[in-house]
Amino acid sequence: MKVRIICFVLFLCSFQLADAAHNLSVADQWERIPYGNVKVSGEIGRRIDVTINNNLKKLDLNKDFLDPFQKKEAGCCDFIGAGMLLDAVARFAAYSGDKEVVAIKNKIVAQLINNQLGDGYIGFFREDQRRWQIWDIHEMSYIIQGLVTDYSLFGQQRSLDAAVKIADYILADWQSRPANLPDFFLLGIDKAMVSLYIQTGEERFREFGENKKPLTWAPGVTIGRSFDMTGHIFGYLAVSDAQLSMYRLTGDTRQTKSASDAMDLLVNHNGLSIIGGAGQEEAFTIDQDGEGEHSETCATAYMLRVYESLLRLKGESAYGDLIERSVFNALFAAQSPDGRKIRYWTPFEGTREYFSVDNFCCPNNYRRIISELPQMIYYTKPEGGIAVNLYTASSASTQFADGTKTDIEQTTDYPNAGGITLQLKLSKSKSFPLALRIPAWAKNASVKVNGTTVTGTANAGEFFVVERTWKTGDKVEIALPMEFRLVAGRERQAGRVAVMRGPLVYSFSRTANPAESHQKLNFQQIGKYTLDAASLQLTADPAVRTDGTSCTVGAWTVGFNTKSGPHDFELKLTEFADPDGVVTYFRLPLYSKEGVVEDELVNIKK
């Protein structure tokens, strides 16, 4: 059996990911598998299903999303996000084939287009307020994106025609925009124009990104809120995402620098938090403050989009590791377990709150990124080859350039356990590489094909690639040891540890720990509990999902402690997505560093 290992050691040097974008190969990029060819179950599939059934189908479309476009009343609205919603619904419809979801998509499209004016305007401002008011271009830009998604997935020409008309309306008066207009007012326009250029080939849309609002924008990242996009995570990464899309068309490496700068800050300068979120008050930060307005949902969504774009361009497992951490922790914790409620912020210290409305940016960006998850599991290469990026019960079908049809079915209880089985079915035997992401936390992983251990080392933080002639019935078994690990805190969290197992972060929930002694303490005091790491035990727990997990651990009272005697109490730590979680970092007995590891997703500079 021929085995080839892609030797990518996670974060081999400080700037490996920061510089990665400058070495991209457009010709060698991975390709997504179409929505209708992927089916997902497991926890990722469950989140997709509850978002469709318990959130999307429960929305009041007219009141919260569509009526303002008909009324066009002065000062009626903040940002609505109708285009973001359409983008998500179109993807959900393509993935699920659910007739009710298709009907929702068609209703949104019809009402938006029916309210389009002759000059192309679709919005909710009266005529004397249009274009340069906050939210107007922003809203129209995402309507363009949603309409283009409808066209690309369902071939609806009227959607593309309407999107072109909106864009031409914006372009017709572009030169009159105020000189001091904040970039935030234009959020989304970059990707809208790139998307139109990809679908139409019309040069005016490409020229917009070259001259009118250049997609070689790379001002560097600002720490904290600033007067432009450089400090705003959502806005900065939205532009970076558009630039990477344009890079695929042009090969101009200047279009990769802003993404590179963001990656450098996130992974090399403490910008990324333990849960895979980032920032305070929507802005980049590097002090690991996890309270209050940490981890905006829009920011998490765009972090995932940039990771996924770089994964397809580079094929490096580190981006898959980042996706995994964010999805299972920051992203899923931004939604109630039943799917109905969504958060604007997801702190890892202190009480979390749900957002009060169904529209605006964060609820819609949450729906959008959840709708994109089916295409983050498997990838193909044009010349042949399949990559498995995320582990969740699922299946996918693809066809290679020579006509060979290949089905792959993944069976696993992940993230509860690290055993994954892949079953292959092919229309004819074919030789191709199968790339399996070995997470950076998965030490001593192993891979078997048809019961025989594959030679070579399945190194953590690499793609393990098995290249052989595959045939129907071949079975691949991946074993990822899932031991508890204590991850060292950084900056504000220095001197404390977070408890992790596999991709999951565990936190202290008041509901899971109802003892009166805990209820009387604020979360900062609970974070001073001293854990006896040797006592960690895995347990089953339905707080987040029916077959979810938790762990028990012995602990001593508030304050540093060198005790080795009886515990003061036993704590239960639940999966971070538990809505009642309030504490993520804890102390260890004084001077104890046994079992403590640095976060494998970041590189702390000495």
28: confidence class by pLDDT, cuts 50, 70, 90: low
> For the ranges 155-159, 207-211, 241-245, 426-430, which has the lowest average pLDDT?
207-211
> For the ranges 27-36, 315-324, 431-440, 482-491, which has the lowest average pLDDT?
27-36
| Average pLDDT value for residue range 204-229 | 89
The per-residue pLDDT for range 320-332, each reduced to its tens digit, is 999 999 999 999 9
* Omega prior to 382 cis, within 30 of 0: no
The span from the CA of 303 to the CA of 79, in Å, is 21
What backbone torsions phi and psi does residue 414 show, to the nearest 5 degrees?
A: -60, 140
Residue 109 buriedness (CB in 10 A; 0-12 / 13-18 / 19+): buried
222: confidence class by pLDDT, cuts 50, 70, 90: very high
CA dihedral 370, 349, 502, 234 (to 10 degrees): 40
The per-residue pLDDT for range 374-424, each reduced to its tens digit, is 999 999 986 789 999 999 999 999 999 899 999 999 999 999 999 999 999
The span from the CA of 491 to the CA of 62, in Å, is 46
The span from the CA of 320 to the CA of 324, in Å, is 6
Chain CA centroid to CA 58, Å: 23
Give strand ranges (E) for 7-111: 31-32, 38-40
> For the ranges 17-26, 271-280, 284-293, which has the lowest average pLDDT?
17-26
Query: Which of 26-35, 68-77, 478-487 has maximum average pLDDT?
Result: 478-487
The span from the CA of 349 to the CA of 584, in Å, is 6
CB 416 within 8 A of CB 480: no
Burial 546-563 (b: 16+ CB within 10 A, else e): eebbbbbbbbbebeebee
Lateral strand order in the sheet of 446-449: 38-40, 394-399, 405-412, 419-426, 475-479, 446-449, 452-453
The per-residue pLDDT for range 513-525, each reduced to its tens digit, is 999 989 999 999 9
Q: How far is CA 263 from CA 27, 240, 257, 382, in A?
A: 22, 11, 10, 27
293: confidence class by pLDDT, cuts 50, 70, 90: very high
The per-residue pLDDT for range 88-107, each reduced to its tens digit, is 999 999 999 999 999 999 99
> Which one has a higher pLDDT value, 112 or 517?
112
What is the structure's pLDDT at 558? 75
The per-residue pLDDT for range 37-57, each reduced to its tens digit, is 999 999 999 999 999 999 999
Q: What is the largest CA-CA distance in the chain?
A: 78
Q: Which residue, 477, 328, 314, is CA-closest to 390?
A: 328
Q: Which two structure tokens, joined as six digits, stand for 59? A: 């929305």
75: confidence class by pLDDT, cuts 50, 70, 90: low
Three-class DSSP labels, 241-301: HHHHHHHHHHCCHHHHHHHHHHHHHHHHCCCECCCCCECECCECCCCCCCECCECCHHHHH
Share of the chain above pLDDT 90, in %: 83
The span from the CA of 483 to the CA of 597, in Å, is 12
